[in-house]
Chains A and B, each alone.
Chain A
Amino acid sequence: MSAGLVLAGVSYRYAGALGAALAAVDLRLEPGRVVGVAGANESGKSTLCLVVAGLAPSVIGGRLDGSVRIDGVETAATRPHELAQRCGLLFQNASTQLSNTTATVLEEVAFGPCNLGLPAAEVVERVWWALRAVGIEPLAPRDPARLSGGQGQLVALASVLALRPSYLVLDEPTSELDPAGTRLVAEALARIAGETGAGILLVEHKTEVLAHIADDVVVLERGTVALSGPAAEVLADPRLVELGVEPPAQVRLERAVRAAGLEWSAALAEAIE
């Protein structure tokens, strides 16, 4: 019995699908760490999120082989409402996350904690903490149905944070955010991991974000782990491009300069820091 979210030899096939969406995946997420997941479209990133959060197969069906353990307990043996408190999942399409039952952002973010049956004072405290963490306190009185795409995404993220799960599984939380919003969310996630000890699994196409906050990075290809290791090493791996992943801007610029037959000087390295 050890702390951490551990996948061992995990394969998963959607109901009715011919091939496996994930095959023989091993992955380890320790409390307080951020593990980034990258990969081409349809490489299995979102499926991995569903499996890690326990929605696949318990809610959407399909067939799972191998072991998914959260702090030593198999997710298959955990009831969904208990699992939801251990592991929070943010969907890729934020608009599918929102409850569509609330009149204000404040109530929307309070929806989850209220359902946990927490005392009102704690719900309120958590809601404001979550809104502050993603920098959207001014949106509190707004109608969730009348937000921009990026604002909706931040509200969905705050709603998951307010549940204070031990592990967070985030499927492209910054996809619709402006650069400043992306930076804010990245910094908030790093802080949450550091301060609350939450383990964060972060699917992200923006490799700059992973370079900034991920401890380790896993790259998926057709449902299998193609690369995995410390973030800096994986993100500088020459195979990244053929795996359909854009290297971070720093890596791209250095490569482009070298490819032009020019020396990569210390001054250039400093200019991209």
Chain B
Amino acid sequence: MTAAGSPAGSAAWGSTAAVPSIELEVVSFAYPDGTRALSDVGLRIEAGESVAIVGQNGSGKSTLVRHLNGLLRPTAGRVLLDGRDVRRIHVARLAGLVGLAFQNPDRQLFASRVSAEVAFGPRNLGIRGPELDERVQAALADTGLGAEAATNPYDLGYSRRKLLALASVLAMRTPILVLDEPTTGQDARGVARVRDVVARAAGEGRTVIAISHDMRFVAESFRRVVVMREGRVVLAGAPDVVFGEAAWPELGAAYLEPPLAAVAGARLGLGATPTESAFVTAVGRRRGGATAGGAGAE
């Protein structure tokens, strides 16, 4: 493994291998009932990138990420991790490389105690003893479930079951973290926790990929945004590009809307302001640069 471009911080997730790059080579996928979910998707994600995948319901986002850990195999094309076809990587090894938190936590949870649920993944990776305990504690703390270790997962409300599904994946400390709609059903604090989890993982040099409909979360937490429409990648770039005015027609065609901060910034001629803090900064710059009373808009 060349590990080209992967940061040296891999010690942060223990003995796991360096972060692999991901490459989808003209991947197509059709479900057994004939529904074509992906068409000729080409996408390269470098080691340590944070990437949000957005698109209309049914545009193929969940199908795409399920190809990353081998849950689905392409009908045509290849999925490569560091140049190696995932078909040739043993399932157990793949599980240690790519952690996927499902959109619906109930497809994922099964243990009778929260702590056992979280321990299941790392245990399967061969982790035992104090390290296992440490990982479980850390994952529960990161998701705000520290006080629920002994609770039955089904006594938790939906939003906390989703956080539990996230904790179970975090505890595996995989170099690649894939989150399918992590903020749905979360309140403001829950969204903030998910944002912190993403920031920390990205800060450790891990690759973070998240599917989301929350454009504010996308703009604030990810370096690159990939837009899907009808099984294809139709647009990809930094948030200021994807949410910039020039891209609005394409976004609209994908049934998406830029965050309000981006819309307001464009209306005021402030340039690209995909995040609320970028908007405030741009307003301040405009005021600072303007002469008295010149704070007007177009």
A residues at B contact (CB < 8 Å): 39-42, 46, 92-93, 95-96, 142-143, 146-151, 153-154, 172, 175-183, 205, 241, 244-246, 249-250, 252-253, 256-257, 260, 262-263, 265, 267-268, 270-272
Contacts and interface: CB of A to CB of B under 8 A. Distances in A.
Given A42-B159, A178-B55, A256-B277, A95 B295 contact: no
Given A253-B260, A256-B276, A260-B280, A154 B158 contact: no
B203 interface: no
Interface of B: 31, 33, 35, 54-59, 61-62, 103-104, 106, 157-160, 181, 184-191, 213, 215-216, 255-257, 259-261, 263-264, 267-268, 276-277, 279-280, 283-284, 287, 295-297
B188 A245 contact: yes
Contacts of B184: 175-176
Interface centre among A147, A149, A177, A249 (most CB of B within 10 A): A149
A245 B257 contact: no
A172 to B, nearest CB: 6
B58 A205 contact: no
Contacts of A39: 187
B297 A267 contact: yes
A151 B59 CA distance: 10
B280 A257 contact: yes
B162 to A, nearest CB: 9
B264 A178 contact: no
A66 to B, nearest CB: 22
Given A41-B187, A92-B185, A272-B260, A181 B279 contact: no
B58 A148 contact: yes
A256 B220 CA distance: 15
Given A46-B157, A249-B216, 14 more contacts: A40-B188, A41-B190, A92-B158, A146-B33, A177-B57, A179-B215, A180-B56, A180-B257, A245-B187, A249-B259, A249-B260, A250-B260, A260-B280, A268-B297
Nearest to A44: B157
29 contacts: A39-B187, A41-B189, A46-B158, A148-B61, A149-B57, A149-B104, A149-B181, A172-B185, A176-B181, A176-B213, A177-B213, A178-B55, A179-B255, A179-B257, A180-B257, A182-B213, A244-B189, A246-B188, A249-B260, A252-B276, A257-B280, A260-B284, A262-B284, A265-B296, A268-B264, A270-B297, A271-B263, A271-B267, A272-B263
A265 B284 CA distance: 12
Given A178-B57, A179-B215, A271-B297, A262 B159 contact: no
Nearest to B288: A262
Contact of B296 (A93, A143, A180, A267): A267
Closest 4 CB pairs of A and B: A150-B57, A180-B255, A267-B297, A249-B260
A253 B279 contact: yes
Nearest to A260: B280
B210 to A, nearest CB: 14
A250 B54 CA distance: 23
Contact of A41 (B57, B186, B287): B186
B62 A148 contact: yes
Contacts of B188: 40, 241, 244-246
B56 A253 contact: no
A179 B212 CA distance: 10
B159 A41 contact: yes
Contacts of A257: 279-280, 283
A272 B190 contact: no
Contacts of B260: 249-250, 253, 272
Contacts of B54: 178
Nearest to B35: A146
Nearest to A208: B260
Contacts of B215: 179
B280 A40 contact: no
Contact of A205 (B35, B186, B261): B186
Given A262-B287, A267-B295, A253 B261 contact: yes
Nearest to B156: A42
Contacts of B255: 178-181
B297 A150 contact: no
A244 B187 contact: yes
A54 B159 CA distance: 23
Contacts of A272: 260, 263-264
B297 A42 contact: no
A181 B256 CA distance: 9
Contacts of A149: 57, 62, 103-104, 181
Contact of B160 (A41, A92, A241): A41
Given A205-B186, A253-B261, A265 B295 contact: yes
A130 to B, nearest CB: 17
A41 to B, nearest CB: 4
Nearest to B265: A271
A257 to B, nearest CB: 6
Contacts of A175: 184-185
A257 B281 CA distance: 9
A181 B267 CA distance: 24
B185 A256 contact: no
